[in-house]
C-alpha cells in the first residue's frame, strides 16, 4: 500500500526530511507541480482543517481536489468504506485522503493501489497533525532534542496525543501529560498543569472530545477551565520562549480561555498555516516514491 498511514513506521530521519521539505515549500524555495492529477478527500468524520488544508495543498501542487460528502452519498445505502475508496480509484483519482472513526481502518484497504493519506483514524493516529505540530515546534526552537512538552487535557480519547507522544519521544523530547485523572492514560509521566506551565517549552493543549465520552463530565465548563485549562494567569507563568499549540478546533472557555487562543505565546493559527505545507510535502514525497 502506498501513502501515509501512521508515523510509527516512518523513521525519525524521514520525519525530519518531511519537515525540511515543508519548510522549503513555506519559504518558496521548492516548487513542484502535478498537472492532470486529481485526489479525493473522503471524510467519514467531521473536519475543517485537515480536509481543507489537504485541498489547499493539492491546489498549490497543481492537483485537482475532489470533494466527497458522506451526507447524500451512497453510504446511506449501506456502501462500505472499502467500496467507497475502490469507487474513487475506479473513477480515476490519483490518491485519497481518508478520515474514519475505526482505528487502523486502512488495514482493510490493502488491495487499493492508489496512495492513501490518513486524515485521522479512531483514537490511534493523525500523522499530518503530528507533522505540522513538529514543524511549528522546529520553527520556534530549531531542534527537538531535550525539549520538554506537556500534552494537556483529554489524552485518553485523543489520536493526536497518542501519535504526538510516540514521535516526540523518538525525537528525544521529554514528554509529559496533564489533565483530569479520568482523561489520562499511560502515554507519559503525569505532571500537574501548574507544574507543566512552569517547566515546559511546549504546552500541547488538546480538545475535550465530548463526542467520544461515554459518560458526562462531572464538572462544568468554568470548573474545567479553572482546574485543567490554559488561562491568562497560567500563561503568565510560562517560560519566556515557551509556546502553546492546540490541534483545534478549540473549545474556548473550556480547555483554553478565549483570550489565550490569540495571545503572544499561542501558535494555534500558525499551526493551521503550516498544515498546508506539511501536506504538500507528504503528497509530493509519496507521488515521488520518497515516502
Grid cell of 90 as nine digits: 475506479
Q: Would you give the binding string for ligand CP spanning residues 20-59, x where CB under 6 A is met?
A: ---------------------------xxxxx--------
Taking the complex as a whole, the smallest distance from the CB of residue 247 to ligand CP amounts, in Å, to 4
Total residues contacting ligand CP (rule CB under 6 A)? Answer: 10
Nearer to ligand CP, 53 or 89 (CB): 53
Least distance CB 280 / ligand CP (angstroms): 16
x-marked contacts with ligand CP along 75-114 as a string, rule CB under 6 A: ----------------------------------------
User: Which helix H or strand E contains 260, and what residues bound it?
Assistant: none
Question: What is the distance between the alpha carbons of residues 155 and 189, in angstroms, rounded to a whole number?
Answer: 12
Decide the pairing of beta strands 116-121 and 3-4. parallel
Residue 158 Cβ vs ligand CP, minimum distance, rounded to whole Å = 11
Distance CA 187, CA 162 (A): 7
Residue 146 found at the interface with ligand CP (CB under 6 A): no
Classify burial at 289, counting beta carbons within 10 Å of its beta carbon; exposed 0-12, middle 13-18, buried 19 or more.
Answer: exposed
In a 3-state reduction of DSSP, which class is residue 78?
A: coil
Of 51 and 284, CB closest to ligand CP:
51
Distance in Å, CB of 196 to ligand CP, minimum: 21
Among residues 41, 55, 124, 129, the one that binds ligand CP under rule CB under 6 A: 129
Q: Which element (helix H / strand E) includes 42?
A: strand 38-43
| d(C-alpha 29, C-alpha 89), whole Å | 33
Q: In the bound complex, what is the minimum distance in angstroms from residue 29's beta carbon to ligand CP?
A: 26
**Residue nearer to ligand CP on the CB measure, 34 or 163:** 163
Contact characters 222-261, ligand CP, x per CB under 6 A: -------------------------xxx------------
Least spacing, CB of residue 274 vs ligand CP, in Å = 12
242 CB neighbour count, 10 Å cutoff: 21
- Sheet (strand 38-43) strand order: 3-4, 116-121, 96-100, 38-43, 64-68
* Cβ(160)–Cβ(212) below 8 Å: no
CB 77 within 8 A of CB 49: no
**Cell numbers given for 283:** 503528497
Q: How many residues make up the chain in this entry?
A: 291
Comparing CA positions, the residue from 82, 109, 151, 135 lying closest to residue 5 is 109
48 vs 74, which CB is nearer to ligand CP? 48
Residue number with CB closer to ligand CP (55 or 191): 55
Query: For ligand CP, which is the closer residue by CB, 46 or 111?
Result: 46
Of residues 34 and 267, the one with the C-beta less far from ligand CP: 267
- Where along the sequence are the contacts to ligand CP (CB under 6 A)? 47-51, 120, 129, 247-249
Amino acid at each position: 500500500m502506498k501513502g501515509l498511514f501512521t508515523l510509527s513506521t516512518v523513521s525519525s530521519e524521514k520525519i525530519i526530511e518531511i519537515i525540511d521539505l515543508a519548510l522549503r515549500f513555506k519559504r518558496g524555495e521548492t516548487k513542484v507541480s502535478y498537472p492532470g492529477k486529481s485526489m479525493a478527500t473522503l471524510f467519514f468524520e467531521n473536519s475543517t482543517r485537515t480536509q481543507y488544508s489537504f485541498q489547499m495543498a493539492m491546489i498549490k501542487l497543481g492537483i485537482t481536489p475532489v470533494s466527497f460528502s458522506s451526507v447524500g452519498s451512497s453510504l446511506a445505502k449501506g456502501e462500505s468504506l472499502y467500496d467507497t475508496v475502490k469507487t474513487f480509484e475506479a473513477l480515476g483519482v490519483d490518491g485519497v485522503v481518508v478520515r474514519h472513526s475505526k482505528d487502523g481502518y486502512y488495514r482493510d484497504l490493502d488491495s487499493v493501489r492508489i496512495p492513501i493519506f490518513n486524515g485521522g483514524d479512531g483514537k490511534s493516529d493523525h500523522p499530518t497533525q503530528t507533522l505540522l505540530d513538529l514543524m511549528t515546534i522546529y520553527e520556534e526552537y530549531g531542534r527537538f532534542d531535550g525539549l520538554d512538552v506537556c500534552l494537556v487535557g483529554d489524552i485518553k480519547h485523543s489520536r493526536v496525543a497518542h501519535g504526538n507522544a510516540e514521535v516526540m519521544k523518538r525525537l528525544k523530547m521529554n514528554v509529559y501529560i496533564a489533565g483530569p485523572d479520568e482523561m489520562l492514560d499511560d502515554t507519559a509521566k503525569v505532571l500537574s498543569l501548574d507544574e507543566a506551565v512552569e517547566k515546559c517549552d511546549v504546552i500541547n493543549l488538546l480538545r475535550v472530545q465530548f463526542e467520544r465520552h461515554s459518560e458526562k463530565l462531572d464538572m462544568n465548563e468554568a470548573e474545567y477551565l479553572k482546574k485543567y485549562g490554559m488561562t491568562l494567569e497560567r500563561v503568565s507563568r510560562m517560560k519566556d520562549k515557551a509556546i502553546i499549540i492546540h490541534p483545534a478546533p478549540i473549545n474556548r472557555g473550556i480547555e483554553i480561555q478565549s483570550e489565550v487562543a490569540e495571545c503572544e505565546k499561542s501558535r494555534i493559527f500558525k499551526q493551521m498555516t503550516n498544515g498546508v505545507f506539511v501536506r504538500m510535502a507528504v503528497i509530493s514525497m509519496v507521488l515521488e516514491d520518497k515516502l
